[in-house]
Structure 1
């Protein structure tokens, strides 16, 4: 079913609508959050209301330092000890209904992708704590055409169900890297074989920081483009994609202007359109 949206005729005006929509969906008030620290490193933005919840769990948080920072697991000084404590905490939070969408997948607790993880935690609990996370997103560009492939998230997804997304997008588990994550997700989400997926071109990083119902999305998104053969038709293999769509830039802008695409995918898509000068968007 095609989306319809009342939009300006000038592409630049449409882009303004899109960016305004992203801004409206991306509030963040630092005063309402605490800088979450582990071993003196900033690893997250903890909502103060979640700090109040965690105060009921013994030994999880230290005392705020008076400068907007608080330490996670102050009594644990080794990675194994932190891992064990966070595994218990994630289970307790899920049992209490504070986190949902359990993944059985571990995310790193870290200040940067390059640093050795200070701990790992169940993915479902990462945004409750406002942890820095990492993801790979890919624009599927159709060779020889002014068109892209996009995907719609399954209505059963715990996060952004039913929304439009980049052709391939996936969170980066602990121990993985951006391209490895992308190649795996290409196969699972769109049936793109590894030999083709590994040809994806890297186009930098987009940082996302916003308040969401689960807590905070603080995510470093690694951006890729992949040129797909004109006769390639994606097919989902893991049940996480409801449909794929071959689409031109103008129709894609309409979807984004209607806020029907996720925030991170919208930013990644705008980046691709700008680089190509498509739909009147200048690089």
Structure 2
């Protein structure tokens, strides 16, 4: 009887989580222009942002298709494009159109495996709706016996420019230009949670989740590389870089309550759900062999 009640509670939480995700994941394609470079789509540019760029006399050229624009027309070199985007990024920041300057470059590219056509300050990526990449990791407590599975999660610092104070996966980080998913994850493991590289390299890779949604600052178009790490029962994460305000070890009921309340970021919620479903922990409707 207790198990039935627990499954019903999990199913109810799953429905609330789905509703929260749907409310936070709307995307209006009609309000966007496909941002192109050399015939390849690198972003979803909000039409309002295209108007801002045109008003600044910047970087957009017409395409045959009225739903697309060319980024940096007439510039055919990585260094030249990157220099133009660096100047544009500073103009946008000075005009108050972007915030949270990161001093970190993201690739402008149609795919992770494709050569980057330019690199740009990370703060500008969502204004332009660029395709970006991230690595996220579920921190799972191995052999947990306290009434069921447990995960470590982290709370983002209030000083973060994106999703301040929200719950996140134990480790989550954007992928800078020139990095790769595992390299990014191993670095973030040490910085965010004090997980040494030797332990971090024992992660299990579980594919990619794509996020495409409208945001006040533009568009989040992100491919999230998903990892699980089984952590020793006695391990306690410790933040090293000031970007995490709290770590918390949570059992399944508390974790589902956090997610269903909308207190966890969209991408972290998707990554967590992926782990719960794969492991048969979410509820009767999502159990898998």
TM normalised by structure 2 equals: 0.94
- Residue matched to 1:17: 16
- Residue matched to 1:193: 196
Task: Write the distance in 2 (CA, Å) between the matches of 1:279 and 1:26.
Answer: 21
- Residue matched to 2:161: 158
Is this contact kept in 2: 1:60–1:73, CA < 8 A? yes
Is this contact kept in 1: 2:168–2:264, CA < 8 A? yes
Is this contact kept in 2: 1:151–1:166, CA < 8 A? yes
Alpha-carbon shift at residue 135 of structure 1 (Å)? 0.1
Task: Write the distance in 2 (CA, Å) between the matches of 1:225 and 1:89.
Answer: 38
Superposition pairs of residues 264-283 of structure 1, within 5 angstroms:
264-280=267-283, 281-283=286-288
Is this contact kept in 2: 1:249–1:273, CA < 8 A? no
DSSP-derived class of the 2:187 partner: helix
1:256 and 2:255 aligned:
no
- Residue matched to 1:123: 122
1:56 and 2:65 aligned:
no
DSSP-derived class of the 1:99 partner: coil
Task: Write the distance in 2 (CA, Å) between the matches of 1:249 and 1:181.
Answer: 28
Task: Write the distance in 2 (CA, Å) between the matches of 1:57 and 1:207.
Answer: 32
- Residue matched to 1:221: 224
Alpha-carbon shift at residue 65 of structure 1 (Å)? 3.3
Alpha-carbon shift at residue 56 of structure 1 (Å)? 1.6
- Residue matched to 1:178: 181
RMSD over aligned Cα atoms = 1.1
Is this contact kept in 1: 2:14–2:282, CA < 8 A? no
Alpha-carbon shift at residue 9 of structure 1 (Å)? 5.0
Task: Write the distance in 2 (CA, Å) between the matches of 1:56 and 1:32.
Answer: 18
Superposition pairs of residues 73-84 of structure 1, within 5 angstroms:
73-84=72-83
Task: Write the distance in 1 (CA, Å) between the matches of 2:96 and 2:201.
Answer: 39
Structure 1 unmatched ranges of 5 or more: 1-7
DSSP-derived class of the 1:278 partner: coil
Alignment deviations for residues 166-185 of structure 1 (CA, whole Å, 9 cap, x no partner): 00000000000000000000
TM normalised by structure 1 equals: 0.95
